[in-house]
Amino acid sequence: MKSKKNYNFPLDDFIDFSLYDKKFGYYMKKIPFGQKGDFITAPNVSRLFSEMIAIWIISFWESLGSPKKFNLIELGAGNAEMMKILIESFKKFPNFFNSCNIFIYEKSPKLIKIQKNKLNKKKVTWISKINKIKKSPSIFIANEFFDSIPIKQFIKKKNLWCERYVSLEDKYYSFFLKSKFNMQKFEKKINFRLSKNQNFIEYSILATNYLKNITSMIKKYNGGVLIIDYGYFNEKMKDTLQAIHNHKYANVLENIGNSDISHSINFNLYGKIINQLGDLTYLLTNQKKFLLKMGIKERAEIISKNQNFLKKADIYYRLKRLIDDKQMGNLFKVMLIKNKKNKFKLGF
């Protein structure tokens, strides 16, 4: 890193280095969540969010025929707040809880340590590879998981495609540059017409591989994946790359290893990938509609009964953050991917 040479990385390699390098990586050395971190996720806003997810998981399990053995996998469990509430909720449904093998897929040793301190280690198994999961029906939960997966960016000018690179002299000085790119060859390799009607592309090879591996298991053993993330439905892709530092937007090329780098999910693109994989279907909505259909307002009314004014105000303030159109309600989208035969629609 202290060499005088410049290193030119494709954008996805730069993001991977910034977030996951064992020494410098943001997720490897920092606790990004909460007031002392750089951002707050929905499970940390209110336990109501995780309770709604728990109800949804149990209902989806029933749609699979209530299998006596099945897997529940959280992809990237953060500070384990959601999983903690999920397990608390599941205990009220013994048949479900006894049938459930719980897994957490996590890359960060620092976050694994936090998760293990917060959760019942006997009930949860940590994995570093998805193919380590038992061959049973599987429900995957991905809350703010896909947005932090490294992406490539491609720019079209005068019918020529270029790939965005980052030139890195050291971790304190870097800049963007472009390199000519053979889009036709790349599309042949990924077997997908990525550039149709596009002038700008954000695409993640790794995210596509996750989708392929997860849906392969769903097709073979039954199940589904619930994706909750900030994103958009438009067919036309746009530049959504961003960095967050101390709860504020920051320059992606500054504070490398100390800022969270993410992007908005193009759910239209994810839908096209799912359609190409065959035998699968997907449902889409936003977080507001999903949580309201799951009964989050009614649950807020129940838990706020007999509470003092301050406690009630806090419950409804947090609820508003989750469902308000100008806050998380419309910014976050919810996608369910499942087998075509399964007609389950709860929340959608």
Got the DSSP string for 224-287?
EEEEEEEEE--SS-----EEEETTEEE-TTSSTTTSEEE--EEHHHHHHHHHHH-SEEEEEEEH
Which residues have C-beta within 8 Å of that of residue 190, sequence separation ≥ 6? 205, 208
Task: Please give the pLDDT value at position 232.
Answer: 97
Write out pLDDT tens, residues 161-170: 999 999 987 6
In the chain, pLDDT over 70 holds for what percent of residues? 95
Confidence check: pLDDT of 2 > 50: no
How many whole angstroms separate alpha carbon 137 and alpha carbon 223?
Answer: 5
Query: 47: closest CA among 59, 55, 39?
Result: 55
Write out pLDDT tens, residues 133-155: 888 999 999 999 999 999 999 99
Confidence check: pLDDT of 3 > 50: no
Confidence check: pLDDT of 238 > 90: yes
Q: How would residue 348 be classed by pLDDT, with cut points 50, 70 and 90?
A: very high
CB 28 within 8 A of CB 36: no
Write out pLDDT tens, residues 241-273: 999 887 788 898 888 888 899 999 999 999 999
Write out pLDDT tens, residues 190-215: 999 999 999 999 999 999 999 999 99
Task: Please give the pLDDT value at position 183.
Answer: 97
Q: How would residue 172 be classed by pLDDT, with cut points 50, 70 and 90?
A: low
Task: Please give the pLDDT value at position 24.
Answer: 82
H-helix or E-strand spanning residue 61:
helix 47-63
Q: Torsion angle, CA of 58/63/68/73, rounded to 10 degrees?
A: -60
The residue behind tokens 């707050």 is 40
> pTM for the full model?
0.93
Q: Catalogue all structural domains in the chain, each as residue range(s) with its CATH number.
A: 13-151+203-296+331-339 (3.40.50.150)
